Amino acid sequence: MKRRKFVMLAAKGTGAAVLSSQIALLSSCDDSVPVTAPEVLEAEFKRKLFVPPVASGSGVRLIARNNIFNVMDGLQAEVLGYLDGSILGPTILANSGDLLQVEFNNSLTEASNIHWHGIFAPANMDGHPRDIVPAGGTKIYNFEILNRAGTYWYHPHPDMRTAEQAYGGLAGFLIVSDQEEQALLLPSGIYDIPLVIQDKNVDANGQFPYILDSNDQKNGLLGNRVIINGLHAPFIEVNSGWYRFRLLNGSNARLYNLSFTNGYPMNIIGTDGGLLAYPEQVNSIILSPGERADILVDLSKLVAGDEFFLQSEAFPGSIYQGKQGFRILKIVATGQPGVAFQLPSQLSGYLSLNPNLAIRKRSFDVSNGGGHSGHSHSSSAVVHVIDGKSYDENRIDVQCSASTFEHWIFDNTIGIDPHPMHLHGALFQVLARHGGRAKVFPHEKGWKDTVLLMPGEKVEILVRFSSHVGVFVFHCHNLEHEDSGMMLQMKLD
């Protein structure tokens, strides 16, 4: 923890001016030598999946605290959580139009706060990095849910401490429903399962202290174990019927190429900001940190004892990660009948934005100067930037008008790292991707708050701003990139 603070403070001190003078040097340094991510280790899938308890959004208390929890079978780890005795937080349920009322108590030994990822919160309720709750402090978050039904989530967002606190275990789902969704009679209750996928660097004692080596500082932390809902290698028993799985990549930096080992298709019904217009059937989904995919799966043909896995397959595009496939969750059939369901042809009638009506076009260079990352040669500090600038809470980078929409471009054409770009105070529609994978994927339709730029890619989005005025941040959701400066401020008037 001490070392981390030192590194990050040093990074701040270098600032944008120093950085731009360093960019020229980057091409000559040895950053481009490919190093490989740590190997992901599996285990026997013998513990039952943990499903965090649900809580009503109209009155819930979240206490950020230190807990002991067996992430690895039989090994007690020091974790962070909002629940009594476990990692993660409750799944908060709310309806559109409800007042969200959360009492946040910070029982950590350092400042924290809560950001409602994907939600149109007022600026002072959004968990802006400087709106922090000191150790021992309390804050009431209350505001009206303006979002459509969808799978949102919450996590801490204090300046330069987001990565470590989220990695420790502070995160939870915020699931919003509305009438349009309820009319679809989607699989619900025990047939609607939120799944957060994260990776941890676990040592021989089952602990995963937040320690960054120089690869982690550049690429973001990649762990040697992939956990789901806080457990390594769990299993879930399923009945023979339809299931709704809400997939969230809650990792600091790892991308997953998710699929089922038995080839079962994934019917995507929703993305970050809610339901799609109609279901999209795919066999795999690349999910980057912060992104969600809401999928329906037909398990009605399973017979007792059948088993298969949710896995991440190898994928191309990054020199650092994606080389290895691994299994995450074992799915075992009970043979009991589940729920019958007919996939509807229409899901939602959301409005698709017309690029010609965007009030302004802006472009942001997220390539970090084409290096592995922009970093200072004068110290060990690593800095990540957008348009050559690292985060400064005293500088407004972009001024926009609330409730309007603009045409934005994130450009990673010369970049060699993946960057999942995320906006607060807005949702967007992905218009196009140029270079690299050169297309918009089914899980990128609808309303999004995070979009992945692989190396060599440029993505165009139509950004619809919140009706709430004030200062919001936008950043790379690789949390090590974010904490080391890859975040700017947008002011909505």
For ligand C2O, the binding residues in 401-430 under the rule CB under 6 A are 422, 424
For Cu ion, the binding residues in 455-484 under the rule CB under 5 A are 476, 478, 481
Between CA 7 and CA 380 the distance in angstroms is: 7
CB of 307 to ligand C2O, least distance (A): 33
Degrees, nearest 5: CA angle 240-245-251: 140
* Residue 419 binding: pick among ligand C2O, Cu ion, none (C-beta 5-8 Å cut-off by kind): Cu ion
For ligand C2O, the binding residues in 97-116 under the rule CB under 6 A are 115
Is residue 157 a contact residue for ligand C2O (CB under 6 A)? yes
Q: What's 51's DSSP letter? A: -
CB of 270 to Cu ion, least distance (A): 17
CA distances from 139 to 12, 102, 112, 451 (A): 27, 8, 10, 30
Is residue 244 a contact residue for ligand C2O (CB under 6 A)? no
Q: Are 284 and 316 in contact (CB under 8 A)?
A: no
Is residue 117 a contact residue for Cu ion (CB under 5 A)? yes
Between CA 247 and CA 67 the distance in angstroms is: 25
Q: Based on CB atoms, which residue is closest to ligand C2O, 425 or 442?
A: 425
Please give the residue whose beta carbon sits closest to ligand C2O in the complex.
117
Pairing of strands 398-400, 487-492: parallel
Query: By three-state DSSP, how is residue 448 classified?
Result: strand
Please name which of 114, 118, 120 lies closest in space to residue 402, comparing C-alpha atoms: 120
Is residue 117 a contact residue for ligand C2O (CB under 6 A)? yes
- Across 60-92, b (16+ Cβ under 10 Å) vs e yields bebbbbebebbbbeeeebebbbbbeebbbbbbb
Q: Based on CB atoms, which residue is closest to ligand C2O, 157 or 464?
A: 157
Q: Based on CB atoms, which residue is closest to ligand C2O, 115 or 246?
A: 115
User: CB under 5 A: which stretch of 97-105, 111-119, 186-194, 405-413 binds Cu ion?
Assistant: 111-119
Size of the site for ligand C2O (CB under 6 A): 9
Between CA 30 and CA 25 the distance in angstroms is: 10
* Residue 475 binding: pick among Cu ion, ligand C2O, none (C-beta 5-8 Å cut-off by kind): ligand C2O
Q: Based on CB atoms, which residue is closest to Cu ion, 478 or 489?
A: 478
Between CA 141 and CA 327 the distance in angstroms is: 38
Among 475, 486, 490, 492, binds ligand C2O (CB under 6 A): 475
CB of 448 to ligand C2O, least distance (A): 13
Please name which of 225, 222, 221, 220 lies closest in space to residue 206, comparing C-alpha atoms: 225
Between CA 471 and CA 488 the distance in angstroms is: 10
- Which residues, including other chains, have CB under 8 Å from residue 400's CB and lie 6 or more apart? 360, 406, 465, 490, 491, 492, 493
* Residue 437 binding: pick among Cu ion, ligand C2O, none (C-beta 5-8 Å cut-off by kind): none
User: CB under 5 A: which stretch of 56-64, 221-229, 326-334, 417-425 binds Cu ion?
Assistant: 417-425
Q: Based on CB atoms, which residue is closest to Cu ion, 246 or 419?
A: 419
For ligand C2O, the binding residues in 305-344 under the rule CB under 6 A are none
Query: By three-state DSSP, how is residue 214 classified?
Result: helix
Please name which of 233, 259, 256 lies closest in space to residue 328, comparing C-alpha atoms: 233
CB of 252 to Cu ion, least distance (A): 11
Is residue 389 a contact residue for Cu ion (CB under 5 A)? no
Is residue 113 a contact residue for Cu ion (CB under 5 A)? no
Between CA 115 and CA 117 the distance in angstroms is: 6
CB of 210 to ligand C2O, least distance (A): 17
CB of 395 to Cu ion, least distance (A): 20
Interface mask toward ligand C2O for 285-304; x: CB under 6 A? -----x--------------
Between CA 389 and CA 387 the distance in angstroms is: 5
Query: By three-state DSSP, how is residue 258 classified?
Result: strand
Q: Based on CB atoms, which residue is closest to ligand C2O, 117 or 433?
A: 117
CB of 437 to Cu ion, least distance (A): 17
Q: Are 467 and 411 in contact (CB under 8 A)?
A: no
CA distances from 78 to 5, 73, 209, 233 (A): 20, 14, 8, 19
CB of 455 to Cu ion, least distance (A): 11
CB of 480 to Cu ion, least distance (A): 8
User: CB under 5 A: which stretch of 4-12, 28-36, 67-75, 112-120 binds Cu ion?
Assistant: 112-120
Between CA 127 and CA 184 the distance in angstroms is: 33
Among 161, 200, 244, 419, binds Cu ion (CB under 5 A): 419
Among 128, 139, 148, 155, binds ligand C2O (CB under 6 A): 155
Is residue 458 a contact residue for ligand C2O (CB under 6 A)? no
The contact set with ligand C2O (CB under 6 A) reads 115, 117, 155, 157, 290, 422, 424, 475, 477
The contact set with Cu ion (CB under 5 A) reads 117, 419, 424, 476, 478, 481
